[in-house]
Amino acid sequence: RALRWASGRAPARGLRASPRARIAMPSWVIDRYGSNEVLRFTRDMMFPIIHFPNEVIIKVHAASLNPIDLSMRSGYGATALNMKRDPLKLKTGETEFPLTLGRDVSGVVMECGLGVSYFKPGDEVWAAIPPWKQGTLSEFVVASGNEVSFKPKCLSHTEAAALPYVGLTAWSALKQVGGLNQSNCSGKRVLILGASGGVGTFAVQLMKAWDAHVTAVCSHDASTLVKKLGADDVIDYKSGNLEEQLKTLPLFDFILDNVGGSTEKWALDLLKKWSGATYVTLVTPFLINMDKLGVADGMLQTGVTVGSKTIKHLLKGVHYRWAFFMPSGPSLDEIAELVDSGKIQPVIDEVFSFSEVPKAFLKLEGGHARGKTVINVISRQ
């Protein structure tokens, strides 16, 4: 506005004020960590502000829940995430509250920073917001332009909101960490443990799109879904000793572990030795170590653990890796192409209205989800 008064012209895109100079918006927040009762609806959450030239403000049409939202609600990862939020410790106290959860967003760009040239207001986009930022269970959310991508044209906002976080998590594990891609998967035998959840259903479809042979592990009541997504073999982990069932199959080139726990003790024995075969797990102690031991000791313990396990298994002829969610607009661009070509589809377990967020958390907390729990922030998606 100051520029307009001085020059008589409208300000450049990215400097204009938000419509009607809004200062508050509806949002679901928590003011402390705990179970479901800590969720609170407010109409007075601070409206997001563009602080950096590469940021955009998105009007949220739909969001979705992930297991990390349950964990963050209870305080998981608070030490590491607060360090990321305030690395110089310029603030005192619990600076994260009130905290908005939710990582996935599908919506419409409302406002752009000066450095954003790829998007403009009115564009339909999707994104996965990193966990150290305010989340998507709000009317509006701010994101870096490099975290955002154009929404697949073939999907509604409700459908699109089911994919970004799980898609980027699987993409990180399979491509960025595991080294798999469209040109090297043909004929490879891939085992996916925990195949019926959000990450698992995406991973099955991505591996089939890249022409791998997929063995999926899930419960019997999810087998029809997983077969429909393209899995070549489906193993019911409840029908007997899983380790023994898998040992009857030919060895694998790649294992994606969404389960963790005792699985790691025997799963690597299912890999082909001395062939470049790789085990990647998404269940790591990184954030837990920092919560328990503090930042410095937690990072040291984490480094020792992953280093020792990597060397131990390398000496046995297989590669051992950890993978994490990584926000990436360019990766979402590639995923959007796969979606629009019909090779990947969203798998939605249940859809809730914005007023039913606590109910959606309870649904997710019950476990055994078949795909994603989606929240329509704007009705009739």
User: What phi and psi, each to the nearest 5 degrees, are found at residue 259?
Assistant: -105, -50
109 Cβ contact list (under 8 Å, min separation 6): 56, 57, 58, 59, 119, 120, 121, 122, 123, 125, 148
| Model-wide pTM > 0.95 | no
Q: How many CA atoms lie within 13 A of 56 on its CB side?
A: 30
Measured CA to CA, the distance from residue 115 to residue 110 in angstroms comes to 15
Mean pLDDT of 262-274: 96
Measured CA to CA, the distance from residue 143 to residue 54 in angstroms comes to 9
Measured CA to CA, the distance from residue 353 to residue 26 in angstroms comes to 14
pLDDT of 295 reads: 83
Cα 292 to chain center, whole Å?
24
> 91 vs 79, which has greater pLDDT?
79
- The 10s digit of each residue's pLDDT in 127-140 is 999 999 999 999 99
Average pLDDT of the chain to the nearest whole number = 92
- The 10s digit of each residue's pLDDT in 16-36 is 444 445 789 999 999 999 999
Residue from 135, 243, 124 nearest 193 by CA? 243
Radius of gyration of the chain from Cα atoms? 22
Going across the sheet that includes 278-281, the strands are 233-236, 213-218, 189-193, 254-257, 278-281, 319-322
172 has pLDDT over 70: yes
Measured CA to CA, the distance from residue 141 to residue 208 in angstroms comes to 34
Distances (CA, A) of 210 to 129, 174, 189, 204, 327: 27, 11, 12, 10, 22
Please name each of the domains of the chain with its CATH number.
Answer: 24-163+346-376 (3.90.180.10), 178-322 (3.40.50.720)
